[in-house]
Amino acid sequence: MTVRTRVAPIAEHVLPYAATLMMLIALWCVFIYAPDERMQGPVQRIFYFHVNCAWAAFLSFFVAAGASGLFLWRGRPAHDHLAQAGVQVGMLFCTMVLVTGPIWARPIWGTWWTWDPRLTMTVILWTIFAVYLLLRATAHDDPEIARYGAVLALVGVLDIPLIMVSVRLWRGMHPSVISAPEGKGGLEDPRMITTLLVTLVAFLLLIAWLLWRRYETLRLRDEIHTLEDRLTEVAA
């Protein structure tokens, strides 16, 4: 029994329901359970999804980089499929970060966008993986392009540690909400921390499900192509 056949029943019959249930609980926590932040008011509630979108994007890109490393080492298509799934799911969440961030920034900073170090590094991350997707979309069956893509994923993921430390390193405008100094906002109420953790669990389940769905689609597409090629060979 392979890992895939062991994971498949859980991924197909448990993950979607668990993710939906946790998302509903997370929404209840965000809109009802968590209190308003003193300085920002209700708009601070964007934080719970915005931050988790960022973490989800980072995790998906790390999965893509890990799978890309394995693909370069062993050359197995399954690793390439996981890498592609990771990049696509990561791009979804990275786009969400870049959309929800400015919506939060407008009432708090008074502007939709500023070239703050963290924001700029996030745009760079999005661009690197957008190039990856373009590369794969234009020549998805070319093994050489697949290897170039894998190298790009490994290089792209190096931007994530820079995003993490950019607030402290370059002192930008972006808040470091979790570790904000006492009395200067941040997660000062235990209910806020609980909400963030519940939302994190919901996002982890959602990522796992989306990754599985995308991985399976890519795997099936390849299997169908292989079968079509064999059938054509036999017919010839």
The residues that touch another protein, with contacts defined as CB under 8 A, are 41-43, 45-46, 49-50, 53, 92, 95-96, 99-100, 103-104, 106-107, 210, 213-214, 217, 220-221, 224, 227-228, 231, 234-235
Our CB check for another protein shows the closer of 189 and 216 to be 216
Q: How far is the CB of 221 from another protein (least distance, A)?
A: 6
> Closest approach of Cβ 141 to another protein, in Å?
15
Question: C-beta of 47: minimal distance to another protein in Å?
Answer: 10
Please identify, using beta-carbon distances, which residue of 155 and 231 lies nearer to another protein: 231
> 21 or 169, CB closer to another protein?
21
Q: Return the number of the residue (147 or 222) whose C-beta is nearest another protein.
A: 222
The CB-of-204 to another protein minimum distance in angstroms stands at 15
> Between residues 27 and 72, which has the closer beta carbon with respect to another protein?
27
Query: What is the smallest separation between the CB atom of 27 and another protein, expressed in angstroms?
Result: 8
What is the DSSP track for the chain? --HHHHHHHHHHHTHHHHHHHHHHHHHHIIIIISPPBTTTBGGGGHHHHHHHHHHHHHHHHHHHHHHHHHHHHH--HHHHHHHHHHHHHHHHHHHHHHHHHHHHHHHHHSSS----HHHHHHHHHHHHHHHHHHHHHHSTT-HHHHHHHHHHHHHHTTHHHHHHHHHHHH--SS---TTPPTTSSSS-SHHHHHHHHHHHHHHHHHHHHHHHHHHHHHHHHHHHHHHHHHHHHHH-
